Amino acid sequence: MPKGYYRTDRIAEQIQRELAQLLRLELRDPRIGMITLTGVDVTRDYSHAKVFYTTLGGERKAAQEGLEHASGFLRSQLAHSMKLRVLPQLHFIYDPSIEYGARLSRLIDQAVADDQLSQDDSSCESSGSLSDHDKPDVTCVLQKKQQ
């Protein structure tokens, strides 16, 4: 059987769109600040949906409490907009992938900068003999002064 586009995937995408709109327009809980929904996974029997989110500003615990408190309201609003026989229970789960990606990016940038610095140091040391009428390389002199 060819792998296709399953109904659970379509429902998950629709739930994500509807929830994002509800969070933006309808929910007035101050604990829920800037939240981004990163994904929704729906079980095959449509009884449960894992809603993955990230927050801006690091208010994870307050946002989690606010979302859990509002889950009944959000589910009832979803029932009005989606015509499903069974509307899944919403389970909100913090998604650390954005923070993890940012951390990896910082580590890569740091490694590249360290590598560039070590290459600059080695090029200054290898050009120890003066040429061009005994004039030292200005960048090497400045780097040695900084150390």
Residue 124: per-residue pLDDT = 64
Domain map (residue ranges) of the chain: 7-95, 100-146
Question: How confident is the model over 67-74, as a mean pLDDT?
Answer: 94
Residue 134: per-residue pLDDT = 52
Burial class (CB in 10 A: 0-12, 13-18, 19+), 20: middle
Tell me the pLDDT of the chain averaged across its residues. Answer: 83
Residue 3: per-residue pLDDT = 58
| pLDDT tens per residue across span 7-22 | 889 999 999 999 999 9
The pLDDT of residue 141 is above 60? no
The pLDDT of residue 1 is above 70? no
Residue 120: pLDDT band (50, 70, 90) is: confident
Superfamily of segment(s) 7-95? K homology (KH) domain (3.30.300.20)
Q: What is the DSSP letter of 146?
A: H
Euclidean distance between CA atoms 146 and 76, whole angstroms: 64
Residue 128: pLDDT band (50, 70, 90) is: low
Residue 136, SS3 per DSSP: coil
Residue 33: per-residue pLDDT = 82
Which segment of 22-36, 47-61, 126-140 scores lowest on mean pLDDT?
Answer: 126-140
